[in-house]
Amino acid sequence: TTENTTIDPGQLVQLQAVGGGGNYVWSPTTGIGNPTVANPVASPLETTTYTVTVTDANGCTATATITVTEP
């Protein structure tokens, strides 16, 4: 994923999960445009730690987190 980042109020940030692909699920879904893609746009109203879980075609899963800080 991209590195933890700080955004200004109302600013958008594009999250990015990298890897072999598969099914993506971002949580929480608050402030995310589409929580089922590898690179959703987020604009949380408060500091939020997002977790992405990726499941590949073989059923193997991996997770990663990113924190978006809103001052």
Which residue, 69, 60, 66, 67, is CA-closest to 23?
60
Give the per-residue pLDDT at 2: 62
Mean pLDDT for the chain?
Answer: 90
Give the per-residue pLDDT at 1: 55
* Range 10-32 burial, b when 16+ CB lie within 10 A, else e: eeebebebeeeebebebeeeebb
Give the per-residue pLDDT at 71: 80
